[in-house]
Amino acid sequence: MAMNVDFQPLPRKPANFIPIWLCAVCAILYAMSWHLSLSFGDLVSGIGDTGDYISQFFHPDFSLGHKYVWLMIETVCTALWGTAIACIVALVLSPLAASTLTPHPLIYRATREVLNFMRAMPDMLLALMLVSAIGLGPLPGAFALGIHTAGFLGKFYSELLERVPRGRYEALAATGAGFVQTTMIAGYPSILREMAGYTFYIFDRNIRMASVLGLVGAGGIGLELESTLGFFLYNKASAIIIIIFATLFVVDALSSTIRRRLT
């Protein structure tokens, strides 16, 4: 009973601010919904219509299936080329943007800014610009995706290169190897598996993006999706969405298989 008398008293418990932060976040969310005049009442009263809308998607119309599949192949090719462009640009830029590898701090800063700029340019906007510059079709779509996602891949790769133990780079530098040699021998092989993972993620993302790039005339299945929805052909739209979903499912399965094999 008298045990606790001998204990050294605990130091004062540090204040816990998490409840205050949670309240602040809720307040800000409420203020935003009020400012944007979001009405959750409308959402509830619209449930019937939404259900009606969704039910039409349960009867997909595959009468133009072969056309959709062909367009989907074009979409996947656009995404593939976009990813390939992004991958090549990122392979060149990422070692320059890795603090442990870069030949000079100024090059490091400059490359980081270039990558930031690429990420900041939305691919929809790039596609619009490129369509007006080089014409309709999948080519401007591929370039738009390539430029935008090169910014992402460049950042991912450079961060992976920075996580490689510094000693490996030093060991190569100590033999007299230069920047390119150190990157090729000690850099890329060390991050291969993680690199493949990020690249597949970007490929997956590019397929989803390429599926809507058609809206601005950059090829692929997007234009077809838009026009079916525009004409309220929900049965056909449903078929297109199912095809997109199936493609993403296959790509995801493929990427996890390949990543498992790269140990």
Partner 1 sequence: MPLVSLKNVTKIYANGVTALQSLTRDFEAGSFTVVIGPSGAGKSTLLRTINGLETPSAGEVHVDGQPVTHRDLRSIRAKIGMVFQEFNLVDRLNVMTNVLAGRLAHRHWSWSLGYLFSKSDYEMAHQALDRVGLVDKAWSRADQLSGGQRQRVGIARAICQQPRLILADEPVASLDPGSAVEVMDLLAGICREDGIAVVANLHQLDLTKRYADRVIALRAGRVIYDGKVINMDDATFKEIYESNKDTHGKRHEHTDLVLAHA
Q: Which residues bind partner 1 (CB under 8 A)?
A: 165, 167-168, 170-181, 184-186, 189-190, 192
Shortest Cβ 153–partner 1 spacing (Å): 19
Count of other CB atoms within 10 angstroms of residue 90: 27
Q: Which is nearer to partner 1, 176 or 230 (CB)?
A: 176
Contacts 24+ apart (CB under 8 A), 121-127: 121/147, 121/148, 121/151, 122/148, 123/147, 123/148, 123/149, 123/209, 123/213, 124/212, 124/213, 124/216, 127/213, 127/216, 127/218
Shortest Cβ 59–partner 1 spacing (Å): 51
Q: Which is nearer to partner 1, 166 or 208 (CB)?
A: 166
Burial class (CB in 10 A: 0-12, 13-18, 19+), 144: buried
Q: Which is nearer to partner 1, 122 or 167 (CB)?
A: 167
Q: Which is nearer to partner 1, 122 or 189 (CB)?
A: 189
Shortest Cβ 185–partner 1 spacing (Å): 6
Q: Which is nearer to partner 1, 68 or 179 (CB)?
A: 179
Shortest Cβ 150–partner 1 spacing (Å): 19
Shortest Cβ 189–partner 1 spacing (Å): 5
Integer Cα distance of 168 and 182 in angstroms: 9
Return the structure tokens found at 158: 């450079």
